[in-house]
A and B are shown apart, each in its own frame.
Chain A
Amino acid sequence: MPEPVAAATLDIPGRVRELFTYHFMVNALAAGTAVAVMAAIVGWFVVVRRQVFAGHTLSLVAFPGAAGAALAGLPAASGYYAACGLGAVALAPASRSGPSRGAETAAIGTVQAFALGCGFLFASLYHGLLGGVAALLFGSFVGIDDGQVLTLFAVAALAIALIGIAGRPLLFASLDPEGAAAAGVPVRALGAAFLLLLALAVAATAQITGALLVFTLLVTPAATAQALTSRPVAGMLVAVALALIVTWLGLAFAYFSPWPVGFWITSLSFGFFVLARVWRARRARSACGTSPTRRLMLPPGPPKRRRRRTREGGA
């Protein structure tokens, strides 16, 4: 059944139709869509809040959760949600919004290693999980059942609704914690609530990408969007669009190729990230005016730094 990707390019409409003929593939695409939208929006806040490390910890905690659930005879999804939720509750007191939060990293790193070890133990004890460790760590798109899809849609809807309710104060608290605190925004409570939301998003994303590749939907699209625009709403929309594109393409490529879905989604989103950074670097260089010809060809950029300095000094 799996064929080289090159063959897929021959008859694109036919290939797309084929994707939707199998129920497991429809489930994978639906689940991937829900997860991509949620992960991109939550991830945008993760990048702005500099909580990538916390997200990483939660995703590693997800692995023993899923393996432990399998060992106990429960669905792996329940293990993801339970472990991430517990992880967020444990992280909440230690985590502080704002850049002055380096001290907790050693403790968190210790917990990460311990979580991975526990997950490995559970997976070894549960012999029925043949090949399952790889799926838990690096993702798989087969075997997503209807109930799981419904749960993922419900979780995504809940996460987006929560962002819809608290988006603005959360943005204020994330971008400018001290200013927000001065304006009476409950910065600490929002930080703790966001950690729980992040746990929810990580648990859902891990079901598609695996525990280790959660960042490919959670952080990479958001980081790419940050490189492209500094407008908050536009950035979130760009992140969602990127996450959807890499998820759909990744699932399709994985279906037609022997290579796993985790590889496709990560390399696609990494590709977009590199393109965005290159574009930004080129734009920054042309705005600095190192190349006069390039400046003539481009529309006028923001005023140069040097000119602003003198204006300030003269004021």
Chain B
Amino acid sequence: MRAEQVLRLERAAAALGGRTIWSDVSLTVDGGRFVAVLGPNGAGKSTLLRTILGLVPLTAGDATVLGAPPGARNDMIGYLPQRRELDPAVRVRGVDLVRLGLDGGRWGVPLPAWLPGNRTGRAAARRVTDVLELVDAAAYARRPIGELSGGERQRVLIAQALVREPELLMLDEPLDSLDLPGQRSVAALLQRICRTRGVAVVLVTHDVNPILPYLDQVVYFASGRAMAGAPEDVIASGALTGLYGVPIEVLRASDGRLVVVGQPEAPHVHTPRHA
């Protein structure tokens, strides 16, 4: 179990196109924790992930990712970008996508594992099989990805992000296209990966309710600031009122769902989320 600190932001600020997205953000994430990043659209949730990857530089403050500045240890980070556009007409098998996640960046050509003397190829194939079993995707990994359901596809992509055995796994809206049972089962899978592999998982989502029981920590972005802590401390009337600066009420429905009432409209400035 890796228990050391994987992520630390101190009074950090980030800007896109000269506009400050958020500032004065401080948070820490320990190894093996399951963290959700919450907040309204345009609050800077994806920007946080891109800051951690070193793709967006900090304009103020300090960040340490896996003991190094952002971007220095990206090989130990598994990253699932938002809304992957995989052309369904291209017939690529899940197992090939996962394999590319392992060594797709290396020069050369992929040689079949059955070639004599291809020991690294066989070891890689074994690792791909292992990670596909870890995410329960082995049954359909040899079928073209276009024939899979949304949940199955998401599991294959999670396997791709996990195959290099990262210490930090970041997923941008991975539950977006899934139905409710699908969201719960992916969240349960991610929690299992946190617990058994000691991987810290940071997940961006706009609806916390389906995954609330699995979370260790939430980071809530709003009004250009952020608050981090245990879910029950952050998603609370007092805390969110302080964050938004306007009265906010968090109601608990009879089925346990949390409803945030009174949050102001999302900012009217439209920014390309992946600029």
Give me the interface of A with B, judged by CB distance under 8 Å: 48, 50, 98-100, 163-169, 171-172, 175-185, 226, 230-233, 302-303, 305, 308-309, 312-315
Which chain A residues border B157 with CB–CB below 8 Å? 179
Which chain A residues border B75 with CB–CB below 8 Å? 184
- A230 and B110 contact, Cβ closer than 8 Å, known pairs A172-B100, A179-B97, A308-B149: no
Are B97 and A100 in contact, with the CB atoms below 8 A?
Answer: no
Are B85 and A99 in contact, with the CB atoms below 8 A?
Answer: yes
Are A169 and B106 in contact, with the CB atoms below 8 A?
Answer: yes
| Bound form: Cα–Cα A313–B97 in Å | 24
Q: Does B1 contact A (CB under 8 A)?
A: no
Instruction: Count how many chain B residues have C-beta atoms less than 8 Å from C-beta atoms of the other chain.
Output: 43
| Bound form: Cα–Cα A5–B92 in Å | 40
Are A315 and B96 in contact, with the CB atoms below 8 A?
Answer: no
Residues 18-75 of B at the A interface (beta carbon under 8 Å): 74-75
| Bound form: Cα–Cα A285–B84 in Å | 29
- A180 and B100 contact, Cβ closer than 8 Å, known pairs A315-B181, A315-B185: yes
Which of B79, B96, B143, B182 touches A232 (beta carbons < 8 Å)? B96
Per DSSP, are chain B's interface residues mostly helix, strand or loop, or mixed? loop
- Among residues of B, the one whose C-beta sits closest to the C-beta of A177 is B85
- A233 and B149 contact, Cβ closer than 8 Å, known pairs A48-B90, A169-B105: no
| Bound form: Cα–Cα A169–B142 in Å | 21
Which chain B residues border A305 with CB–CB below 8 Å? 147
Are B105 and A172 in contact, with the CB atoms below 8 A?
Answer: yes
Which chain A residues border B185 with CB–CB below 8 Å? 312, 315
| Bound form: Cα–Cα A305–B87 in Å | 19
Query: Contact mask B119-153 → A, CB, 8 Å, 1/0?
Result: 00000000000000000100110111001010110
- A171 and B110 contact, Cβ closer than 8 Å, known pairs A50-B87, A98-B85, A312-B149: yes
Query: Contact mask B96-107 → A, CB, 8 Å, 1/0?
Result: 110011011111
| Bound form: Cα–Cα A187–B143 in Å | 25
Q: Does B109 contact A (CB under 8 A)?
A: yes
